[in-house]
């Protein structure tokens, strides 16, 4: 017999699954801002927010939606290695891998960007930009100035001032998009729809306003924290169910599972 707790636990694994994107008011607004920016002559667009607000998911979503319509590319794994970054740029510009042992200087990319101005407009989605060293960020700024390459850069809000408050960046950021934690209503929507999308309607209906209020209080509406809390709560429920503890399947969903999860994940200190 299929365990609902086992199925529910899987849906709250914290990983990028674009097909399971939950449309919340703030994330829908941010997506539309990104979408509009693709059609405008902007040099640089900044997407920022606290860790766990869905920035990476949003970049993956816009990339997967637009990759067959636009000259759009996603660099989702940050690197501090200039050669590795150049290899990624080379592939974006040419569609080919950089030849082994080749010596390509940054000026080559700049000249290419100037040469294709008016012929090609390249959009590069750069996730976790706070991980890049300042020298590489400066090179990104120079590429933006060619007029043919624009960057959508995602950074953590806590690092925003440290990394992007430099004058040469702030004057080139043409649009700033902030992703916030979900409010209490959105938190409820997020949890409920994640369960419904997996066909777990019966389990979703075992949650009431008391549950959603507690989830919001414990996570402050941070989606990553919601995932962690619910994953662990369903893991606890799975354990109780397998060991024949009858109240694991009683209505409503046991509040104590959420409280135990919060203790286990460090959201409540004891």
pLDDT digits (tens, 9 = 90+) for 6-36: 999 999 988 777 777 888 999 999 999 999 9
Mean local confidence (pLDDT), 178-187? 95
pLDDT, residue 94, reads 94
CA distances from 29 to 25, 102, 177, 178, 192 (A): 6, 43, 9, 10, 21
Separation of alpha carbons 72 and 66, rounded Å: 7
Note the pLDDT of residue 249. 60
The tens digit of pLDDT for each residue in 35-67 reads 999 988 878 899 989 999 999 999 999 999 999
Which domain CATH number covers 108? Answer: 3.40.50.300
- Model-level pTM? 0.88
Q: What is the pLDDT of residue 268?
A: 85
Residue 174: the pLDDT is 81
Last residue of a domain, one of 179, 213, 235: 179
Q: Specify the pLDDT at position 269.
A: 78
Q: Of 133, 153, 179, which residue constitutes the final position of a domain?
A: 179
Q: Is the pLDDT of residue 163 over 60?
A: no
Residue 19 lies in a domain: no
Tens of pLDDT, residues 204-263: 999 999 999 999 999 999 999 999 999 999 999 999 888 876 555 667 899 999 999 999
Q: Are residues 59 and 193 in the same domain?
A: no
- Looking at the structure, tell me whether residues 168 and 79 fall in a common domain: yes
Q: Of 179, 200, 226, which one is at a domain's C-terminal end? A: 179
Q: Is residue 30 domain-shared with residue 144, that is, in the same domain?
A: yes
Residues 173 and 232 grouped into a single domain: no
Domain containing 80 equals 25-179
């Amino acid at each position: 017999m299929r365990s609902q707790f086992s199925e529910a636990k899987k849906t709250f694994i914290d990983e990028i699954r674009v097909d399971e994107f939950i449309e919340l008011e703030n994330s829908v607004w941010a997506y539309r801002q990104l979408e509009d920016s693709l059609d405008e002559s902007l040099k640089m667009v900044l997407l920022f927010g606290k860790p766990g607000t869905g920035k990476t998911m949003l970049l993956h979503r816009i990339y997967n939606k637009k990759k067959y319509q636009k000259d759009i590319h996603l660099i989702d794994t940050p690197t501090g290695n200039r050669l590795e970054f150049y290899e990624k740029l080379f592939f974006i510009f040419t569609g080919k891998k950089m030849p082994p042992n080749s010596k390509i200087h940054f000026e080559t990319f700049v000249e290419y960007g100037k040469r294709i101005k008016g012929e090609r407009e390249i959009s590069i989605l750069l996730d976790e930009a706070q991980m890049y060293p300042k020298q590489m960020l400066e090179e990104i700024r120079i590429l933006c100035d060619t007029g043919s390459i624009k960057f959508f850069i995602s950074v953590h809000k806590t690092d925003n001032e440290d990394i992007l408050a430099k004058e040469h960046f702030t004057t080139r950021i043409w649009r700033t998009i902030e992703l916030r934690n979900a409010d209490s209503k959105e938190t409820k929507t997020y949890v409920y729809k994640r369960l419904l999308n997996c066909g777990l309607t019966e389990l979703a209906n075992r949650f009431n306003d008391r549950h959603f209020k507690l989830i919001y209080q414990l996570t402050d509406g941070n989606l990553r924290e919601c995932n962690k809390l619910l994953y662990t709560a369903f893991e606890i429920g799975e354990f109780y169910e397998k060991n024949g503890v009858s109240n694991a399947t009683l209505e409503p969903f046991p509040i104590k599972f959420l409280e135990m999860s919060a203790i286990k994940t460090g959201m409540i200190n004891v």
